[in-house]
Structure 1
Amino acid sequence: MATSNTSPSGKRSTPAKRSKSSSTRNDMVFYLPPIIPALLMDVDDAPSNQLPFAATYKPLRVEFPKWLFSDPSEEDPETLTLYMEVLYDLASARTAMRVPVASKTWTAPIAENDLFVEVPTRYLRDGRYKYHYEVTLFNGDLTPSKELIINIDTTPPSLGQTPLFSFNPAVVRNTLTDAYFQNNDQQLIGALPPPRAEDIPPGFEGETLPYIGAAVGDVVMWYWSQDPAGNELVGRRELKTVDLGKPLEVSFPADFIRQSGNGMHFPRYEVQDRAGTALQRSMSVALNFEGTPVAARTPPSIKEASGNAFSSELKPVDASNGATVLIPASAVIEGAKTRVYWGAPGTAFAYETDTPVSPGSREYTIPKAFIAPHMNKVVEVYYHVQVEGEKPSQIHRTAVQWITGLPRTQSDQIQDGLLVLDTLSGGPATFTIGTWSHIATSQYISAWIEGVERGNVENAVILPIATEMEVPSEDTTITLGSLDKASLEKLAPLYQFRIHVRVSFDDKESWRVFPFVDATLVDSER
């Protein structure tokens, strides 16, 4: 990496051209890794940097932080080349193959929105890959970046040759009765069939797998319908580490079965892996219910969600001012109130109300503060007409998606991607972040800088900015914290650092990663 020169005026001039061979490993600066916006948010115990399956159908956009001392021209262009190293290619079982996959050359000052290349789809195959890039500056200096390892999964899981629920205990003559529920904790337990020994892939012999390809982050959904292909959702479960290495079982509550009425029903399940490959569907089992049905009223619906009578998906962007629960006209009884429930009463972030949006209306508002904690989860919604003898309605289950359009951290002390230590003589560097959809003071935010150590760039440095701080306001820019000059001096000059932010919407049970910000530390502009 070239060092800055000083002109008589005190301003930084461009570095002199030198031969590429003059750079040695000991004095080389490494840029930050490439950035792939399409990558999924990391989850605990699952492979990091997972590329969604949908992103493999089009050229993959790879972005780069702005580098220092850039001054391309027609005479002295600058070039970036992106390299891919095959750590493991599932299609061919190849390893350790390094190839250039994209390149771009600039002959004029580089615009921020032009710092990207696109990787052709032929390189986006099943496997584990290492990406890094190299920049040749206008003066001939060549600087490599640190590496980014990504995982690509285009193969859906396999449910086996006969994917059918089995039940524990077994259902005699395929008929459920009141006695069955009374003897089995008011539920029907369905077990996914484990793979046959001959279907287990090499290296997994002797292990118990829920199904072939089961992994942390997979989602299992199960249904109880009057049609073999029905989609009356009973439950949704995202697999954790504890779910692997043993048979997988799910529960059909007796109340759900009773409210569906007597007669033949068809339980089945679906599996969707974390990458989003083709949805895998089981076959349906025919079960008859001959018991005491619950004459429950039809379920409510969510005005802003899309789906069917029993299940739906809710995008928070469509409920920026809250969600609207709509009860059916048949549930309106003159003189009686109706109480609407969002989540099971007594559970975290549940909400209930008996006040419609206006007198006589069938619509009830769920405040936005009770939507965000249920993101990436399924929330049960139902109502109860408040008259003697009435039972709660059937349940509508809505899967709340993640919010999008998240803000980035900002600092007045970072200008054009540079943080200059000499400018901090008057005070520390302060870091702020704007508001986001469904922000609430019940949420928590953490922020920190990740860089390398001054004097020993082999060591990582973490500088906390905010640690599990309560969100102080919902409608103004949030001050995350400050770092003084002495703290920032721990970072190596001329090396890039990264500002990380994450937010918990559910009382620290889980965390959503926000977009990071890259900058370069310099001691002085002179």
Structure 2
Amino acid sequence: MSSAKLNQLPLTMEAPWTHPEPLTDIPDGETNLLHCSAWSDVNNPLRVVFKAWYEFPHDSGTERVDIFLDDDEDNIIESRTWSLPIAVDDYFIEIGANKLLDGEHKLSYIMTNFNGLPARSYPYTLTIDKTQPQLATDSTLIFPPEVSPPNSLTATYLADQVNNDQVLATIPDYTEKKVGDVITWYWASSDTDVEVVDTLTLKIDDITGGLPQLAFSGSMIRNSGDGKRYAYYQIEDRAGNVSLDSEHIELQVQATLTPRNLPAPKIKEASGTGNTVILDPMNARQGVTFVIPETQDIHPGEKVRVLWGREGKPGYYVSEWVELPLDRLISVLKAYMPQNMGYSFTVKYQVQIMDGSANQGIDSKTLTVNMNMVQSSGLPYAVCASTSVSIGNFPVDGLDVTLELEWFWILPGQYVRIWAHGVSGIQPAAEFVLEAGLEATEANMGDTITWKITAADLAPFKIPSELTVVTVFSFDDKETWMKEDQDRKYFLDLEK
């Protein structure tokens, strides 16, 4: 039967498919692209698979399938004849790689049955790509002139904020770019010591708008060490065809950070010289000021931060990274002062390391600060409504004890403890607690708080005797309490 007559046959056979199956389609990519592994192994050629064309196969005669491309029935690329019946798993034809041409094709077939009657299939679109990506004639990565030979890739270049702790390289444009191309770039010290830096998969915008630059991070460069290093890349298309390596560019790397001389800070409000100073709380009523010493090892544009107090404890403070002010002064607010009274601690500043991590810094030398406790004369104490009380004529509602929540450096999160002690009627001493730990808050600061001493509270005490009402404070979230102090006591005479 002639081709012209065959072309008039209705499409009655279902379209074939392949095993292995094509890759999943991606936006702007090829249709039904076969990975090269589907056809490149001569011992496992591509199979074109058909659906069985009979529900109940005939058991005698022969049948034939002719596979052709692109509606050209004369362009038969493979044929197969079966002796009936056909086994259910035998409906396929193997196609050698040499018969699969580059490009997008329509794969169709004509089945001629045991009576010699032909039937044509619907087409199956398939894309074959056998061509490896072709790099530019000069494929060498293009680095900024500041780091390209004869210059070196230095720590100063990476530390420059403009460069964001990395160096970028441009790929020379290449022909036949395709969506799904994967660019892999490498960093090597020799032919055997090679590190994969990263990979990049091209999207349509990369094809139409220009190839992205490749980033070599500062951390990777530093970890690789100094000396001669080689950078290059390779491209693999979505079908698995791999380009040759690009030309290697030799770079001289001097990225190791050199030690810096960062003298200890000074605290403007503290007194003393040398490595240890004394800070009077009265001098830090508005906070403290770090003085960053003059040094050649803080470079223009670098950021610094200060660290104050006891790490992990109340009152510990780490400032934000800021460019070093012209006056070299950085303030710490008064909110971080009270919690550190009575302690000795070290302070320092840091210079930011440009390694992609916002929390890393080079430490300065440390300064030890001995911060005194505030004088007790500056703190209030609980006061009874009278200086003496008669047990026999004790107030029915109890005796008022008051405290004004107003003192030097009062801040939310500070605490008050009040208790009373004296001579016991049967034991050497007796006591009771009026307040275990009242917290100063935004709501109650400045208020006068009242407690009651009841007759029952006084029952254990010897009469007559003296009752001592003690007031103490905690400025560090109850980690420590001030010692009992004569200046913060109230004495109440107990009478019969």
TM-score by length of structure 1 reads: 0.43
Q: Highest Rg: 1 or 2?
A: 2
TM-score by length of structure 2 reads: 0.46
